[in-house]
Structure 1
């Protein structure tokens, strides 16, 4: 009985991880940025904001930071 419960918990954790990964990758591969320049924001200021938020990094690096924040810092953002 204990092995059945542990197996179910393991499969549930794996399913959550797979769904988390697929969701992040699908939204991260969209061809647009999730932020837009402000009304009076210069292109240089917008680029600094993009750099500060890490949108210029590869998606695998952003995903690693996301997982770190999720599991270590307990932050969903």
Structure 2
């Protein structure tokens, strides 16, 4: 939960407006829940742990529609 709060704060500092930030837990928590972690994801998770960082896996830009004319 702390990582999610910190991530939201960082995204807001970057002038972004996060609508949804989800934490998926540690490697151990995910394995206990039955998730399979492929080698590429495992390397990325270890890097985030080593660098005390978070991974932003997906961002969708939402723009207001502009009226023509």
If the length of structure 1 is used for normalisation, what is the TM-score?
Answer: 0.26
User: By percentage of residues, which structure has more helix?
Assistant: 1
Q: Which has the larger radius of gyration?
A: 1
If the length of structure 2 is used for normalisation, what is the TM-score?
Answer: 0.27
